[in-house]
Amino acid sequence: MKRGDEGLAFMLRYENVAWYEDGKVRILDRRIYPVRAEYVVCRKHEEVAQAIADMVTQSAGPYTAAAMGMALAAYEVMKSGRADVEEYMEHAAYTLSHARPTTVNAMVKITDGAMTIVREKVRAGETGQKLVDAMQEYAFHYINNNYLKYCKVGSYLADQIPKNGTVMTICFAETVIGTALRECRNRGNEIKMICAETRPYFQGARLTASVACDMGFDVTVVSDNMPGYAMKEKKVDVFTSAADVITMDGYVVNKVGTFQMALMANYWGIPYYATGEPNEAHKTIDTVRIEERDPDQVLEAMGTRVTMPGVKGYYPAFDITPPKLCDGVVTDKGIFAPLNLNAYFNQIK
């Protein structure tokens, strides 16, 4: 079987995202990579959910972790000898899919897919190790098919990047960045990357920049208050980001800071492309709940406190970019106007 991670950076290899094996899920700790390459080892599905909530893995990583967590849950129920296998797996599915509030609808799709297999296996009397194997296979096919889908997204995004052009990003678009870079390399397009650092977890500096560097591309990190100036001075051709949610009315919900960078790009006449799949569960932006995280994380940098005691922090995890600031939503079926996302679901792959 063709693996979609072939030729991608270390941290995008399947085993270094989230991986179930022998009764545990191992997740690369993206909070500290690349300073250290360490893994959080989870022996219960609740620990996988907590790792997702704690942002041990981000971007597409939580979805893979949830799929692998379902394999771990199947192992747990096998070892316990409980008869209520389906009930236990339903509980695990809920726990994993609700680890972070903003992405619940997308996570439910993954756990629902796993539960469809669980019910089939239970009805056929195939529990125990057979169920574990089925969940492990489901998790592998999930990540592999996801990568193969994003190969198409990466190719469509690469189409928008001029020869030897400069691309600015925020946060970590994970597989899209890896596949787009791989596609550019295959086309002989040696692009340059500029990554906004993306506080407070520094995903842009640590993760996106690491992927680009690992794959041999020219990459520069700027602090989060530099993009407006850097866009002009460094002659940025394209601004792109992933999206945690793309609503059917064209709003892009992504890492906080995306909105202000989209505004800057619009001012300078630089196109902004969001990557991802429109979410039919969110017909309008009104149904999206913006997650607010521990405000103390804003008051420190990589574990070091930078403010005086008594200073308060505020940490919305995401912001909302309106459709008029987005030049296109890049999907596995092509690029769609933000106000025409119904066309995505009407188009055959």
Q: Supply the angle between the helices 61-80 and 129-159 in degrees, to the nearest 10.
A: 180
Tokens, residue 113:
């897919």
Inter-residue contact 85 to 122 (CB < 8 Å): yes
Cβ neighbour number for residue 256 with a 10 Å cutoff: 22
Question: Quick one: what percent of the chain has pLDDT higher than 70?
Answer: 99
- Tell me the per-residue pLDDT of 63-81, one tens digit each, with 9 for 90 and over: 999 999 999 999 999 988 7
Q: Tens digits of per-residue pLDDT, 102-149?
A: 889 889 999 999 999 999 999 999 999 999 999 999 999 999 999 999
Q: What is the pLDDT of residue 151?
A: 95
The helix/strand/coil state of 316 is strand
pLDDT of residue 258: 98
Q: Which two tokens stand for residue 244?
A: 């945690």
Angle subtended at Cα 178 by Cα 262 and Cα 68, rounded to the nearest 5 degrees: 105
pLDDT tens digits, 247-299:
999 999 999 999 999 999 999 999 999 999 999 999 999 999 999 999 999 99
pLDDT at 102: 80
The CA-atom distances, in angstroms, between 222 and each of 133, 169, 197, 202 are 45, 10, 6, 11
How is the chain split into domains, by residue range?
10-148, 160-346
The model carries a pTM of 0.88
Amino acid 317: pLDDT: 95
**CA distances (Å), origin 228, targets 34, 224, 236, 256, 336:** 27, 9, 10, 16, 26
The percentage of residues in the chain with a pLDDT greater than 90, rounded to a whole number, is 94
Mean predicted confidence (pLDDT) in 222-243 = 98
Token pair for residue 194? 């500029």
Q: What Å distances lie between residue 248 and 157, 174, 276, CA to CA?
A: 21, 23, 12
pLDDT tens for 138-188 read 999 999 999 999 999 999 999 999 999 999 999 999 999 999 999 999 999
DSSP-assigned states of every residue in 215-282: TT-EEEEE-TT-HHHHHHHTT--EEEE--SEEBTTS-EEEETTHHHHHHHHHHHT--EEEES--BTT-
DSSP string, 8-76: --GGGSGGGTEEEETTEEEEE-TTTTTT---EEEESSHHHHHHHHHTTSS-TTHHHHHHHHHHHHHHHH
Q: Is 287 helix (H, G, I), strand (E, B) or coil?
A: helix
Q: Is 306 exposed, middle or buried (0-12, 13-18, 19+ CB in 10 A)?
A: exposed
pLDDT at 349 over 80: no
**Token pair belonging to 215:** 């794959």
pLDDT of residue 335: 98
Q: Which of 3.40.1160.10, 3.40.50.10470, 3.50.50.60, 3.40.50.620 would CATH assign to domain 160-346? A: 3.40.50.10470
Rg of the chain over Cα atoms, rounded to whole angstroms, equals 20
Q: What CATH number labels 10-148?
A: 1.20.120.420
Cα–Cα distance for residue pair 211/122, rounded to 1 Å: 41
What pLDDT does residue 348 have?
A: 67
